[in-house]
Amino acid sequence: MEESKKIEGVPQVQILQEGHPLLRSRSQEVTSFDENVAALAGVMNTVMRGANGIGLSAVQLGIPIRLITIGEGVLREETWALVNPKIVKRAGEQRTREGCLSISKGKWWRAIKRSLRVVVEYQDLTGAPQKVKAHGLLAAALQHEIDHLDGVLFTDYVPEEEKKEMAPRTKQYPLINRAAKRAIREANHG
């Protein structure tokens, strides 16, 4: 089992790596919508952005609850937290090139089949019911993160014979947050 990766600049937060048993377990429903859920969503956002991710599930940080965040670059202007998300409708098919911060620290990518369009019901951070219709990249990101909540990894969709051929990223993205990157740049140029 590969060790968890510590995120610099975010105390005691690690992205669990493939092989950790929590990544294969079903996350629990959120029933209490308090400041702890909102605070966790904020930490998840920081970790996701610092790791150059477009989505993150709470279980990837070792907290097995049904909470995901989707980054501001995925067809939205701001980061988005979805509590207890559930796909209620699927349509079409697309091939998406996916990676995962919990698979080889985000270094491995593979094209897999996903639904082109999804409808997701969820609750916002106050517990209010919401619904979103998504297509393309946003639909793929939602499916990927909701899979995490059910103990499913994107590599589960890759045929065994192809897993050996998974191509590593050509550009390495260290798991480090933006504030730490800025501090390093300033130290090197200051």
**Residue 111 exposed, middle or buried by CB count within 10 Å (0-12, 13-18, 19+):** middle
Contact yes or no for 78/88 (Cβ under 8 A): no
Residue 147 is predicted with a pLDDT of 98
Segment 164-189 shows an average pLDDT of 44
pLDDT tens digits, one per residue of 101-126: 998 766 778 889 999 999 999 999 99
Domains delineated in the chain: 5-189 (3.90.45.10)
Contact yes or no for 129/121 (Cβ under 8 A): yes
Question: What is the model's pTM?
Answer: 0.80
Helix (H) or strand (E) holding 15: strand 14-15
pLDDT tens digits, one per residue of 23-63: 999 999 999 999 999 999 999 988 988 888 899 999 999 99
Give catalytic status of residue 145 as yes or no. yes
* SS3 category, 146: helix
Instruction: Give the largest CA-CA distance in the chain.
Output: 53
Catalytic residue among 35, 145, 162, 186: 145
